[in-house]
Structure 1
Amino acid sequence: MSVQAGESWSYSKFKFHGLSLSGIRTAIAMPELSLSFDVAQGYPYLLNLKQYFITHGHLDHAAGVPYIISQKAMNSQEPGKFYMPPSLVEPLDKIMKLWEQIEGHEYRYEFIPVKPDDEFQINGNTYVKVFPTTHRIESYGYTVFETVKKLKKEYVGLSQDEIIELRRKHINVNEVHEIPMVSFTGDTQIEFLDSRDWVKKSKILFLEATYLDERKTIDQARQWGHTHIDEIIPRLDEIESEQIVFIHASSRYSDKEALRLIREKVPQRLHNRVVLYPGR
């Protein structure tokens, strides 16, 4: 039930690299897809990616945007695409214009506003879809979907020659399945679980679990737009994800202490499905 700090974590065919610590840093990359969820302060493992999905504008999630843009310019890379809440586009553009004045350099960048249910293509069979979350400021989560062609049920069991013959007659023997593979919440209250039905069905769900013990109550967590583990535990059984990844633990907990608290609170039968993503 743990990931070693600073190392990549893999599940199935997916690899992740990053850190997440409340108020300090959150940026988790999927290198094979050349994308990241949030950018923290703009760490080296983010600089060569192509697409960045920003959940909201707090500094521990978005401060690295200008630095990534400058590094891409310095290394003659194509500008990255930054997807973000609409209310963040104008302020970040102003920040970039100020940095252009400071540095005497004109930058190229692309800030793309998102709204719930928007879809953005990553490659031929992969896209990212937006879902709403609930935080103190405008915020969104993101789901990586895969499209998979499968044989229609009525044709299962036919021989290869029979299927070829149907195709010769211009009969479509396949149907397309859209599978939610990875969902990422950013900062949010527990209500995100009810925002879209596919979120709980994602094979891997990264969800905020900022507070892990009685030092902060559920009401205090909600006041700041966060989620307490005591809100998550009663809902674990309705989450269908093969892996449930807790992120954004409060900096008051060491990774070791956070892991201990999670082990104590999560039912033993679910331990093999729960992961704590480190912040340090």
Structure 2
Amino acid sequence: MLTTVTAGPYTVRGVSVGGVYTSLAVPELSVLFDAGISPRSAGGIDTILLSHGHADHVGALPALLGIRALHGKTKPPRVVMPAEIVDDMNAALEALSRLQRWPLAIEAVGMHPGDDIELRGDLRVRAVRTFHPVPSLGYVIVRRIGKLRADLHGKPGHEIAERRRAGEHVMVSEDRLEVAYATDTLVSVLDHSPDLLHARVLIMECTFLDERKTLEAARAGCHVHLDEVIERAAKFQNEHIVMMHLSQLYRPDEVASILDKRVPPELRRRIIPFVPSTSHWPG
């Protein structure tokens, strides 16, 4: 049932069908983007990043919490979400806990656009504004790396070592944008949050691909149309773009050919359609 793709150093595994369900794990970062389904393999992940509160993106969170119990995970997972939905999410889980006669506990972390929190060690998660009819967020995972100061490039190693021993700071920190996630949003998210265009890997919705859904209709539902991606082709600086949340209007086995025909080659070679290897969507 799960689809797996490789995007540079990262694996993206899960399911994403527009309007039905979306859950995408990146095991190398130990994060799960959205919880529209509850794959057993995601039970060990301790950080869940929710884009918004629609059921196809959060509906399986209670089941996922139950799977964690089967994995022996006793500490509640950290569930990051738009700050506006924290109270409702906690209330929903309290009601479901009464039905289940078992606590469905989470560490709810509400974020606003521009906020960032530590993921672990050298990794942070930054929230960006997305554009949907309900409170929503995208996320950028940022890695802090240490680099030799530019003015020391070319200096002998023994000189750099001596400076370090003398207490001089020979390294500088730099933020590297690793993975960005944006779904259920107008394409204007790319204009308002250009970091998305510079992440090594961009996981981005593109719900509609051709004339089977008009650009106007896509915008009315606050979703991205391929026409809008093509218009911005020169702006994408990503190494890889995982295109997900595709509509059931398209068979999985026709998506690649549509992209081949419509997308400029320089952009197309970086797009990885997140579709199963069959002619049918899962479920």
* Range of TM-score over shorter length: over 0.9
State whether structure 2 residue 99 is matched by structure 1 residue 76: no
| Aligned position for 2:6 | 10
Q: Of the candidates 26, 49, 57, which is equivalent to residue 30 of structure 1?
A: 26
* Structure 2 partner of 1:205: 202
Matching residue of 2:177: 180
2:83 is the alignment partner of 1:86: yes
- Aligned-pair CA distance for 1:204: 0.9
1:118 aligns with 2:129: no
2:189 & 2:177 partners in 1: Cα distance?
A: 16
SS of residue paired to 2:202? strand
Q: Is the 8 A contact 2:22 2:245 kept in 1?
A: yes
Per-residue deviation, 1:74: 4.4
Q: Determine if contact 2:259/2:268 at 8 Å carries over to the other structure.
A: no
> What SS does the corresponding residue of 1:91 show, helix, strand or coil?
helix
Counterpart secondary structure, 1:257: helix
Report the more deviating stretch, 8-17 or 226-235: 8-17
After superposition, give the CA deviation of every residue in 1:145-179 in whole Å (9 maximum; x if it has no partner): 11111111110011111001111221111111101
SS at match of 2:188: helix
Report what 2:226 is aligned to. 229
Residue correspondences, number: 276
Which residue of 135, 138, 151 corresponds with 1:138? Answer: 135
The separation in 1 between residues aligned to 2:268 and 2:37, in whole angstroms, is 32
Where does residue 270 of structure 2 map in the other structure?
273
Matched, 1:21 2:17: yes
Partner secondary structure for residue 158 of structure 1: coil
Paired position in structure 2 for 1:214: 211
**What residue ranges of structure 1 are gaps of 5+ in the alignment?**
none
The 4+ residue runs of structure 1 with deviation greater than 4 A are none
- In structure 2, how many angstroms separate the alpha carbons of the residues matched to 1:216 and 1:163? 60
1:67 corresponds in structure 2 to: 63
Give the match for residue 238 of structure 1.
Answer: 235
What do residues 118-159 of structure 1 show as CA deviations (whole Å, max 9, x unaligned)? 212222211111111101111100111111111111100111
**1:71 to partner: Cα distance:** 2.5
Relative CO higher for 1 or 2, CA cutoff 8 Å, sep ≥ 6? Answer: 1
SS of the equivalent of 2:247 reads: coil
Q: Report the CA distance between 1:19 and its aligned residue.
A: 1.7
Q: Give the deviation of 1:217 after TM superposition.
A: 1.1
Q: Give the partner amino acid of 2:63.
A: Y
Normalised TM-score (structure 1): 0.94
Matched with 2:251 is: 254
Aligned-pair Cα RMSD in Å: 1.5
Q: Residue 232 of structure 2: SS of its match in structure 1?
A: helix
Alpha-carbon distance in 2 for matches of 1:230, 1:179:
29
Give me the whole-angstrom Cα distance separating, in 2, the residues matched to 1:259 and 1:124: 38
Distance 1:176 1:21, change over 3 A: same
What amino acid maps onto 2:58 in structure 1? A
User: What residue in structure 2 maps to residue 152 of structure 1?
Assistant: 149
User: 1:168-226: per-residue Cα shift (whole Å, max 9, x none)?
Assistant: 22111111110111111021001100222321111111111111111211111111111
Question: 1:219 & 1:14 partners in 2: Cα distance?
Answer: 34
Equivalent position amino acid for 1:117 in 2: G
CA-to-aligned-CA distance 1:22-66 (integer Å, 9 cap, x gap): 011111101122211111121212211100000011111111111
Q: Secondary structure at the match of 2:269?
A: helix
- After superposition, the C-alpha distances for 1:66-125 in whole angstroms (9 at most, x for unaligned) are 112223234431211110112221222121111122122233221111111221222221
For 2:127 and 2:3, the matched residues in 1 are separated by 27
